[in-house]
């Protein structure tokens, strides 16, 4: 249960940061800069943090709080990026390409499908 609390607190922080970015940047443009910044920041930070936790420090509670919690609340794109990077690093190129293709096109397809189905239901 303690680990769930670490993740939940981190998720609260990450989600709050993402909301702050959205409120800040949506004033200036309709382009989703806040999402891009959250994803770029999260991708950089998860790479940075995972290096520390795989090479320097072994602290699973802190890792859960920072990566699954804060980075997960900030963006799930950071997790996708790290997992794809790990596949590439391990010379699993086909799996990395499959992950990228399915994630990108699958998510875009399902977002579109959900949008159109909801539009039909709520018409």
Name the token pair of 88.
């590439």
Q: What is the pLDDT of residue 88?
A: 96
Q: How many domains does the chain have?
A: 1
pLDDT averaged over every residue in the chain: 92
Q: What is the pLDDT of residue 77?
A: 86
Please check whether residue 123 lies inside any domain of the structure.
no
Cα–Cα distance, 15 to 122 (Å, whole number): 29
Task: Give per-residue pLDDT as tens, 18-46.
Answer: 999 999 998 998 888 888 899 999 989 99
Q: What is the pLDDT of residue 48?
A: 93
48-52, 108-112, 119-123: the lowest-pLDDT one: 119-123
Please check whether residue 119 lies inside any domain of the structure.
no
Q: What is the pLDDT of residue 31?
A: 83
Please check whether residue 90 lies inside any domain of the structure.
no
What contacts 16, CB < 8 A, 6 or more positions away? 73
Name the pLDDT band for 107 (thresholds 50, 70, 90).
Answer: confident
Cα 56 off chain centre by: 23
Model pTM score = 0.78
Please check whether residue 68 lies inside any domain of the structure.
yes
Q: What is the pLDDT of residue 79?
A: 82
Please check whether residue 45 lies inside any domain of the structure.
yes
């Amino acid at each position: 249960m303690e680990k769930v609390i670490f993740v939940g607190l981190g998720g609260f922080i990450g989600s709050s940061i993402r909301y702050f970015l959205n409120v800040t940047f949506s004033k200036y443009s309709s382009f989703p800069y806040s999402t891009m910044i959250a994803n770029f920041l999260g991708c950089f930070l998860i790479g940075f943090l995972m290096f520390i936790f795989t090479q320097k420090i072994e602290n699973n509670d802190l890792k859960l709080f920072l990566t699954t919690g804060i980075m997960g609340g900030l963006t799930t794109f950071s997790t996708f990026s790290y997992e794809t990077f790990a596949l590439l690093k391990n010379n699993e190129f086909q799996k990395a390409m499959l992950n990228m293709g399915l994630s990108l096109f699958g998510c875009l397809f399902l977002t579109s499908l959900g949008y159109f189905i909801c539009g039909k239901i709520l018409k």
